[in-house]
Amino acid sequence: MAVFTPVSEGSLQVLLNRFDLGQLVGFEGIASGIENTNYFVDTTSGRFVLTLFEKLTAEQLPFYLGLMRHLADRGVACPRPMADRSGSILHTCEAKPASLATRLKGQWQPDPTPAHCRILGAAIAASHLAVMDYQGSQPNLRGLSWWQQTVPQILPFLNSDQANLLKNELKAQTDFMATAAAKHLPRGAVHADIFRDNVLFEETAAGPELGGFIDFYFAGVDHFVFDLAVAVNDWCITHDAQDRGELLTEHRDALLSGYESIRPLSDVERDAWPMMLRAAAYRFWVSRLYDWYLPRNATMLTPKDPGHFERLLRTRQS
């Protein structure tokens, strides 16, 4: 999330006039993230998030918005895209495709405990079961084919050791995805970006309560175990300047046990787990390298240091 396209009060009011959501009370840009323009919007009837899509096209967006509606209808905690009076959930604002969705309660948890991880694991599994009948077919746009297209653009910026690591892991992932085992991994529409700042929790006297998943705009059809690995790689490590991404055993076990309490992993998924942890680290190293060396302009944008995922990949390889 970021602000690439400033939204005027007039443009926002024109959009809101298509809904029955009361009067505009206030709105403000959201600075975190690097893909879309996002604003908090408050009206007399509730709190919402306005998203202007900077890369995704109007043809691609029904997959993402439909996925969120599908999950919300099946009890998975996530924003619900709002339909205007005509029934459409895809809108336009400042000449960009846009959505207006409910704003979830809670805050993201920068220092999760095993209790957070267990709740998260169960919620991820519930989302994987919920998409079994989702008809959308958008591939993961930051998956293997994107790595193959993007890595050559990044290589000129890297030293020889980094370049070799990037090329060798790409070959290993390409070879693995061609195996019979990989072709039998269960798949479906997954979030594919379950980082700490994309999950909200409310902290109560009785313990943490899940507010829900946000920012679905890296979602795509991919392996369920890859989606799980993305979460484990972020939620089950410490985040400090020198961290190499060693897994915190109690956090990892809690997240995986929470997941398997809802959807047990298959034998083929267990066998693929080490490679999926590497794939999850590689995906974000490539994307952070791309954003670091080939950034886009934005009013509020701070590219994230790719070094974290380089260290994480090296640890997962070992």
227 and 138 in a single domain? The answer is yes
The mean pLDDT of 285-291, rounded to a whole number, is: 96
Return the percentage of the chain with pLDDT > 90, whole number: 88
Residue 25 domain flag: yes
Confidence of residue 3 (pLDDT cuts 50, 70, 90): confident
Residue 135 domain flag: yes
The pTM of the full predicted model, rounded to 2 decimals, is 0.91
60 and 24 in a single domain? The answer is yes
Return the percentage of the chain with pLDDT > 70, whole number: 96
Give the integer Cα–Cα distance in Å for 80 and 101: 5
Answer with the one of 87, 103, 119 that is the final residue of a domain. Answer: 103
Residue 3 domain flag: no
198 and 147 in a single domain? The answer is yes
Q: Which CATH number is 270's domain given?
A: 3.90.1200.10
Answer with the one of 103, 137, 165 that is the final residue of a domain. Answer: 103
138 and 30 in a single domain? The answer is no
Give the integer Cα–Cα distance in Å for 280 and 176: 14
Residue 2 domain flag: no
Q: Specify the pLDDT at position 201.
A: 98
Give me the helices (H) in 51-204, please: 61-73, 114-130, 144-154, 160-177, 180-183
73 and 168 in a single domain? The answer is no
**DSSP per residue, 22-90:** --EEEEEE----SSSEEEEEEETTEEEEEEE-SSS-TTTHHHHHHHHHHHHHTT-----BPP-TTS-S-
239 and 125 in a single domain? The answer is yes
226 and 259 in a single domain? The answer is yes
| Identity of the amino acid at 29 | G
247 and 133 in a single domain? The answer is yes
**Residues 37 and 54 sit within 8 Å (Cβ to Cβ):** yes
79: number of Cβ within 10 Å: 25
Q: Which CATH number is 53's domain given?
A: 3.30.200.20
Closest listed residue to residue 97, CA positions, set 68, 62, 57 = 57
Q: Specify the pLDDT at position 1.
A: 46
- Residue 173: pLDDT over 60: yes
**Residues 216 and 227 sit within 8 Å (Cβ to Cβ):** no
Going from the C-alpha of 61 to that of each of 89, 185, 201, 248, the distances in angstroms are 10, 26, 27, 36
147 and 57 in a single domain? The answer is no
Residue 141 domain flag: yes
Going from the C-alpha of 1 to that of each of 37, 43, 60, 84, 234, the distances in angstroms are 6, 21, 18, 23, 18
120: number of Cβ within 10 Å: 27
Backbone angles phi, psi at 157, to 5 degrees: -90, -10
The mean pLDDT of 155-163, rounded to a whole number, is: 98
Q: How many structural domains is the chain composed of?
A: 2
| Identity of the amino acid at 228 | L
Give the integer Cα–Cα distance in Å for 99 and 119: 28
247 and 271 in a single domain? The answer is yes
Q: Specify the pLDDT at position 240.
A: 75
Residue 308 domain flag: yes
**Residues 262 and 122 sit within 8 Å (Cβ to Cβ):** yes
207 and 75 in a single domain? The answer is no
The burial of 242, by beta-carbon neighbours within 10 Å (0-12 exposed, 13-18 middle, 19 or more buried), is given as exposed
Its domain, for residue 60, covers 9-103
Confidence of residue 160 (pLDDT cuts 50, 70, 90): very high
Q: What is the pLDDT of residues 95-140, one digit of tens each?
A: 999 999 999 999 999 999 999 999 999 999 999 999 999 999 999 9
Backbone angles phi, psi at 207, to 5 degrees: 125, 180
CA 155 to chain centre: 25
Confidence of residue 35 (pLDDT cuts 50, 70, 90): confident
Query: Which one is predicted more confidently, 105 or 31?
Result: 105
- Residue 305: pLDDT over 60: yes
126 and 245 in a single domain? The answer is yes
Say which DSSP state 106 is in: S
Give the integer Cα–Cα distance in Å for 54 and 60: 12
Confidence of residue 32 (pLDDT cuts 50, 70, 90): low
Residue 1 domain flag: no
Answer with the one of 72, 103, 134 that is the final residue of a domain. Answer: 103
Average pLDDT over the chain, rounded to an integer: 94
Residue 4 domain flag: no
Most confident segment among 164-178, 238-252, 297-311: 164-178
